[in-house]
Structure 1
Amino acid sequence: MNKKIFVMLANGFELIEAMSPVDVLRRAGLHVVTVSTVENTLEVESAQKVKVIADANIADINVGEGVMVVIPGGFPGYINLRTNSKVVEIVKTYLNDSTKFVGAICGGPTTLGINGLIGDYKFTCHTSVKEEMGSEKYEHNEVVIDRNLVTSPGAGKSIEFALALAGLFVDEETITKVKKGMELI
């Protein structure tokens, strides 16, 4: 698959919530592009003070090449993402296209809630931001998939979230191979 999966990184992102999807999706053979949302640099610092060099800067990506955008949480990363007009526009574009997907974990779903994009989608998120979603469609689950939106509540569910994202694009045999390689089964 040459369509790209964009994982958005902002200063203060949650390391495990961003890198678990990168790892699992790449293991599944998918084309993942980590994207710095920090102006004029590829370097992004996680909430845990780990510096990551992204594959591309948001100013340089072709949004049309993507099939999914992933929004990790982490404080203040999720706030930096939800207030970035380019990120919000990409999420809105992907959400409004039934052939594309949005994945969001922990505080990441607030990008949809705060910007009036959650609509009638069922979702989950970190319990600390549930009230910011502006919706009664919250579900307390490891992963919630509703149409083209995939959400998860937080860092402890990062692997389940990543496997659910991969499952949108690859067959069960590939998922099983990834799980075996990670000693999950």
Structure 2
Amino acid sequence: MAKAVVFFAEGTEECEALLVVDLLRRAKVEVLVASASGSREILSSHKVHITADALAEEVDYSDVDLVVLPGGIPGTPNLAANKTVTDTCIAFAKAG
């Protein structure tokens, strides 16, 4: 089964993030929501409280097929500020 990690951060646009999670799960992809905010509790751009499955720093990316970076302000800059997120994206890009 394919596996995906969807990164959430404070200020993530909840529709962009949750729609991806929903569609991937309907497609039978194993999805892990990973917080890039240092806490599993995240407040979205429209003040919706979301609980992640894990912190980004806790995830084993060795068997992950896809990472997703949802948009939103300030969610996108918050994702870019997280070293685990950027390191993971660089590793995926280098791996092709």
Q: What TM-score bracket applies, with the shorter chain setting the length? A: over 0.9
Pairs within 5 Å for 1:127-142? none
Q: Give the drift of 1:23.
A: 0.3
**Is the counterpart of residue 62 in structure 1 residue 55 in structure 2?**
no
Cα deviations by residue, 1:98-128 (Å, 9 ceiling, x for unpaired): 2xxxxxxxxxxxxxxxxxxxxxxxxxxxxxx
Residues 6-56 of structure 1: CA deviation (Å, up to 9, x unaligned) = 0000000001110111000000111000001111x2111100100100111
Q: Which residue of 2 aligns with 1:48?
A: 46
Q: Which SS does the other structure have where 1:74 is aligned?
A: coil
Report the TM-score when normalising by structure 1: 0.51
Q: Higher relative contact order at CA 8 Å, sep ≥6: structure 1 or structure 2?
A: 2
Moved segments of 4+, more than 6 Å: none
Aligned partner of 2:90 in structure 1 is: 92
Q: What is the 5 A alignment of 1:28-43? A: 28-39=27-38, 41-43=39-41
1:86 CA displacement: 1.1
Indicate conservation of the 8 Å contact 2:37/2:78, yes or no.
Answer: no
Segments of 5+ residues of structure 2 without an aligned counterpart are none
How high is the TM-score relative to the length of structure 2? 0.95
Please identify the structure whose Cα radius of gyration is greater: 1
Report the Cα distance in structure 2 between the residues aligned to 1:12 and 1:65, rounded to whole angstroms.
Answer: 28
Number of equivalences = 96
How far is 1:4 from its partner?
Answer: 2.1
Q: Aligned letter for 1:79?
A: P
Alignment partners' CA distance in 1, 2:58 and 2:84: 12
Residue in structure 1 matched with residue 7 of structure 2 by the alignment: 8
**Residue of structure 2 equivalent to 1:160:** none
Shift of 1:96: 1.1
Give the CA RMSD over aligned residues: 0.9
Q: Report sequence identity in percent.
A: 35
Q: Deviations over 1:133-153 (max 9, x none)?
A: xxxxxxxxxxxxxxxxxxxxx
Q: Which amino acid aligns with 2:37?
A: V
